[in-house]
Amino acid sequence: MNLFNWKRIVIKVGSALIAPNGKGCSSHYLLGIAQFIVRCRELGVQVVLVSSGSVAAGAHLFSQKEPTLAIKKAMAAAGQTDMMATWDKLFDFPTAQILLTHADLRNRDRYISVRQTIFSLLDNGMLPVINENDTVTTDTLKVGDNDNLSAMVAAAADADALIICSDVDGLYDKNPHTNDNAQLLSWVSKIDEKIYAMAGGATSQVGTGGMKTKIEAAEKATSHGINTFIVNGFTELSFNMLLEGKNPGTHFQPYEEPMQEHLHWMTHTSKAQGEVIVENDFNTALDAASEELTAQEIVKVEGDFAVGDTILVRKDDGTKLAKAKSNYSSCLLSFLADQQDKDFTQKMQNKTGPVISDKNIAVLEAS
């Protein structure tokens, strides 16, 4: 019986579970996770697996004690095949590899293509195994950690639940590794500054994410209406409890009114390529009336962006107002914003249309 009544879940497994001893992949901790995935599928629940571990899996093949970025990319290339082979041998159904960069997700057309690929694999009974493409990522193209990647994937896959495996039982009010009196939060109804304050740094020696990135992922997922769990991935009890419909760790409650899909993508997945800064006393509501944002109201333009890129609209004091698709390049918008002749600017904008599109804008809470 599927007690949680899920139809589709995403489970994120970190490097410490994949390659715990620094000698390549190990199935020691993965067997319990694999059994959970098998049981979910038997219950009619579709599963997407986001798996870190390529760098950790390939590290033992290289002699460098302090590897350069190029060597780490080579480790990822060598370790990815070992990681996929390790997962593949644990199942009697086919797995499928998807390697992503943030560029694949922040571009709307490529994002939709990723969605379609995931749906096609699931519909044909396969297990998508997704990882960041560490071999080709750069600072401008990478997500950086698979916690946030798993949330983006969960949103793209229209998942009901996101299960993030950790090395602790969930979110504590303080670091349980250094505080014996730390208390586990069994559920979180709202993610705010207090929740983020409870998150410390990374505890794993081989992972790139800590509790903070898991909270970031939970915030992304819950705003899409996705139940999110942080559980201890090192014990089978966590997965047995989930199958029993029980919460083994911290359950982050989803929004009662989830964000629309394209607005969620704009807010949490698309990356702003530049900023449009308006006066601090700018009071126009940036929604369907976004045509009211004119070049005359722009103080300055930062960054280098093209028509169609996502931009951040903020006040001069730093208050973030919205993320939106730009109908102007940064070059043209800067030119218009610098013009002293208001009539000329208005005539130009009448020809080219609004600065941002009313159908491609996500209004942000003041921050």
**What does the pLDDT look like over 245-258, one tens digit per residue?**
999 999 999 998 88
pLDDT-derived band at 364 (thresholds 50, 70, 90) equals confident
pLDDT attached to residue 86: 95
pLDDT reported for residue 283:
65
* Confidence band of 17 (pLDDT split at 50, 70, 90): very high
pLDDT at 224: 95
Average the pLDDT over each of 300-304, 309-313, 325-329, 363-367 and give the range with the smallest value: 363-367
pLDDT in tens, 33-85: 999 999 999 999 999 999 988 999 999 999 888 888 999 999 999 999 999 99
Handedness of CA 196, 202, 207, 208 (dihedral sign): positive
Q: What CATH number does the domain located at 272-363 have?
A: 2.30.130.10
- C-alpha 310/C-alpha 299 separation (Å) is 18
Give me the pLDDT at residue 336, please. 83
Higher pLDDT pick, 209 / 125: 125
CATH number of 8-264: 3.40.1160.10
Distances (CA, A) of 302 to 19, 120, 142, 298: 42, 40, 21, 11
Contact between 221 and 253 under an 8 Å Cβ cutoff? The reply is no
Residues 162, 250 contacting (CB under 8 angstroms): no
Cite the beta strand spans of the chain per DSSP E: 8-13, 46-51, 95-100, 127-132, 161-166, 187-188, 227-232, 250-252, 274-278, 298-303, 310-315, 320-326, 356-363
For the chain, residues classed under CATH 3.40.1160.10 are 8-264
pTM of the model: 0.85
Q: SS3 of 325, please? A: strand
Residue ranges of the chain assigned to CATH 2.30.130.10: 272-363
> Cα(86)–Cα(17) distance, rounded to whole angstroms?
12
